[in-house]
Amino acid sequence: MERLYTVEEAGEVLRVARQTMYKYMDRGVKGVKLGYVYVGGERRITQGAIDAFIKASTAAQVAPDDTIDTQISASGHGAVVLATP
């Protein structure tokens, strides 16, 4: 089974503050949200979701005029693309 990170642990992986993690999950960046699951009422993030978020948000920043694949996923847990440019 893939490891589940707490919000704080995932923030350490991405080297961002806890409040930034909630922004990534709730509002997203460049139309891309960080995927998560609820476990016992708490949010948990998989490594696959982190990898997919990095890939999708980097693609959105690098090529803003291109269409982004709205089905980006890693092991069933991934970034959710909100809109394409």
Confidence of residue 62 (pLDDT cuts 50, 70, 90): low
Token pair, residue 2, equals 């893939």
- Residue 59, pLDDT above cutoff 80: yes
Instruction: Give the tens place of pLDDT for each residue, 8-46.
Output: 999 999 999 999 999 999 999 988 999 999 999 999 999
Domain assignment of residue 40, given as a range: 4-81
Q: Exposure string (b/e) for 30-60, b if CB count within 10 Å is 16 or more?
A: bbbbbbbeeeeeebbbbbbbbebbeebbebb
Token pair 């998560």 is found at: 36
Average pLDDT over residues 50-72: 69
Domain count, the chain: 1
Query: pTM (2 decimals)?
Result: 0.71
* Higher-pLDDT residue of 14, 72: 14
